[in-house]
Amino acid sequence: MVSRMKRFIFALAFLVAGCGAIPGLGADDNRHDQLVKYAQCLRQQGINVADPPPGEDSFKLDGRGVPKDKLEAALKTCKKYRPQQRQPTAEDLERMRKSAACLRRNGVDASDPTAADPGIRVGSPPPGKDLDAIMAACEKEAGQ
């Protein structure tokens, strides 16, 4: 069964990224530097996150095995380094909706993102299915 933390992390990944990795949407240097500082701070708090690749304006958190209170404390501590989120474009939202639809086709309960709430909340996968593999395939299918 997928923990609440896993569902929270998938939603948070989109939020931290300013709506996820959008191909062709390169980051300006300042935003990238801010994301690197944010990732460094999170690692100092014990959260497993890699620096965003050069030219990218996103990264994903892996909160598996991290107690929810520890993650929330780390996010609060590092908030000062988090770049301001950009508003998702109609194209961003469409790609995220395609990801959510793909997740549902694969038996995973997934919410549709909106401009006001651009995260995707994800439920448990069907028995015997790997959520990470499903999410990766759906992100690829949606062009993220």
Render pLDDT for 58-90 as a digit per residue (tens, 0 to 9): 777 766 677 878 888 998 999 898 887 777 788
Asked whether 106 and 141 are in contact (CB, 8 A), the reply is no
Residue 56 lies in a domain: yes
Do 16 and 81 meet the contact criterion of CB atoms below 8 Å apart?
Answer: no
Residue 86 falls inside a structural domain? no
Cα–Cα separations (whole angstroms), residue 43 to 74, 88, 94: 9, 27, 32
CA distance 72 to 78: 10
In a domain, 59, yes or no: yes
pLDDT at 128 over 80: yes
Residue 29 and residue 63: Cα distance in Å, rounded? 27
User: How confident is the prediction for the chain on average, in pLDDT?
Assistant: 76
Local confidence band at 8 (pLDDT 50, 70, 90 cut-offs)? very low
- The answer to whether position 71 is within a domain reads yes
The domain total for the chain is: 1
Q: Please state the pTM of the whole predicted model.
A: 0.56
Contact 83, 31 (CB under 8 A): yes
Cα(45)–Cα(75) distance, integer angstroms: 9
Residue 62's nearest CA partner among 109, 107, 10 is: 10
Record the tokens describing residue 78, joined without a space: 């590092």
Structural domain boundaries, residue 70: 24-81
Q: What is d(CA 116, CA 16) in angstroms, rounded to the nearest whole number?
A: 14
Per-residue model confidence (pLDDT) at position 9: 46
Count Cα neighbours of 17 within 13 Å in the Cβ-side half-sphere. Answer: 30
CB 27 within 8 A of CB 18: no
Position 49 in a domain: yes
In a domain, 8, yes or no: no
135 found inside a domain: no
Domain-located, residue 43: yes
